[in-house]
Amino acid sequence: MNATLAPAALTAADRCDRCGARAYVRVLLPKGGELLFCAHHGRAHQDALREKAVEIQDESHALTSVTPAIAPDEER
């Protein structure tokens, strides 16, 4: 049986290999390596990455996620 595990979610500790910003894109390479990119560099290099990657984990949607604010009548 050959099971594939989903890659772990990216965290604030994961940094872009290009500029050091927070990584939102993980690229898994054929020989087992990985590259991490911020959303900007992930988009800038996406065509080349698609040609080489085994898998691309893109969590850049987190940049546009809206966190609900505390309603004014709620207790803090």
pLDDT digits (tens, 9 = 90+) for 5-41: 677 899 999 999 999 999 999 999 999 999 999 999 9
> Which long-range CB contacts under 8 A does 40-46 form with residues at least 24 apart?
41/16
**Residue 4 located in a structural domain:** no
**Residue 72 located in a structural domain:** no
State which residues form the domain around 46. Answer: 25-62
**Residue 34 located in a structural domain:** yes
> Which pLDDT value is given to residue 21?
97
**Residue 76 located in a structural domain:** no
Residue 71 has pLDDT above 90, yes or no: no
Q: What is the dihedral of CA 46, 49, 53, 58, to 10 degrees?
A: -30
User: Using one digit for the tens of pLDDT, what is the confidence trace for 43-68?
Assistant: 999 999 999 999 999 999 988 866 66
> Which pLDDT value is given to residue 5?
66
Q: Helix count (H) and strand count (E) of the chain?
A: 2, 3
Residue that is written with structure tokens 């207790």 in the block: 75
Q: For the chain, what is the domain count?
A: 1
Measured CA to CA, the distance from residue 57 to residue 6 in angstroms comes to 9
> Which pLDDT value is given to residue 7?
75
**Residue 41 located in a structural domain:** yes
At residue 10, what is the residue type? Answer: L
**Residue 58 located in a structural domain:** yes
**Residue 36 located in a structural domain:** yes
